[in-house]
Amino acid sequence: MKKRTGIKRQILFTKYLKEEESECKRMCHEAKRQFEESIRLAHYSFNVHDSALDPQSVNKNSENSKQKTNKSTVEESEDCEHSDDDRPKLKNTIHPDWVKPVFRKVVMVTHPDKLPEKLSEQIREKMIDVYRDSKIALESSEYVDLVILADDIDVSLPESKILESKIFDKKNSELNSSIKNLKTSIYWVWANSTDEEKEKILKDFIDQRGWTSHENKRKRSRKSPGTHPGKSISQMKKSKILKK
């Protein structure tokens, strides 16, 4: 009973970390979108050239080279996908001795051919999802995911062997590291900043990119398509777009 309590505690804690990582990723993804949108608006207003933001500044040779590279990458990707489908999986993978028995137990309960006909459609779909996710977990050697999936459907587990393998310690360390990196990123700071703090971050970014440098103040260094007014820095100051 103590062993069961021990592994259950590990499973619950890892689930908590996975949920926290997922939420942090969601927040950072949304903050990244907002941050990049603010940068694009500022870039447009300043009407300055920035090679990282001006696609029209790329010459034709670079574009052709990029197209060739992308085409090559797509072809390589398609070749890889084709070879992955044809390659026997798990053949050369050495798993801990407890892994495949656990996987087989999951398969016996969740494989589409093993499911009772009287199961509701909702439960059937859930079991098939568990089967597919367990297969992916085995193929990618994500043993913690396999254990969690097995526990979710009440498959018996070799608890002492799993605890001795330290797989939860390794997984939790990876999750904590990922969460820490997300929470120290500029996007996390942006997501948790006030409007005034966001203005300061944006100003620092503009200064680092040199948009307010003497050279960019002296001349308009990019031509804008369409009906862009092409304001100079001095014009922007007069119209209070840019505060002194």
Average pLDDT rounded to a whole number, residues 28-46: 91
- The structure tokens listed for 109 are 């309960």
**CA distance between the termini of the chain:** 70
User: Would you state the pLDDT for residue 43?
Assistant: 85
Q: Is 59 left (phi over 0), alpha (psi -120 to 50) or beta?
A: beta
Confirm if 98 and 161 have CB atoms less than 8 A apart. Answer: yes
Number of CB atoms found within 10 A of residue 172's CB: 17
Question: Distance from CA of residue 53 to its chain's centroid?
Answer: 23
Read off the pLDDT of residues 122-176 as tens digits, 9 standing for 90 and up.
999 999 999 999 999 999 999 999 999 999 999 999 999 999 999 999 999 999 9
More confident residue, 146 or 223: 146
Q: What share of the chain in percent tops pLDDT 70?
A: 70
- pLDDT bracket for residue 82 (50, 70, 90): very low
User: What is the enclosing helix (H) or strand (E) of 138?
Assistant: helix 121-139
Q: Which of 75-89, 152-166, 208-222 has the highest mean pLDDT?
A: 152-166
- The structure tokens listed for 240 are 């209070």
User: Would you state the pLDDT for residue 215?
Assistant: 65
- The structure tokens listed for 69 are 């590279």
Average pLDDT rounded to a whole number, residues 88-96: 67
pLDDT at 236 over 60: no
Which contacts (CB < 8 Å, 24+ apart) does range 17-20 have? 17/172, 17/175, 17/176, 17/179, 18/175, 20/175, 20/179
Whole-number mean pLDDT of the chain?
79
Average pLDDT rounded to a whole number, residues 206-224: 66
What does each C-alpha distance from 117 to 12, 121, 130, 155, 173 come to in angstroms?
Answer: 32, 10, 18, 21, 42
User: Would you state the pLDDT for residue 216?
Assistant: 62
pLDDT at 71 over 80: no
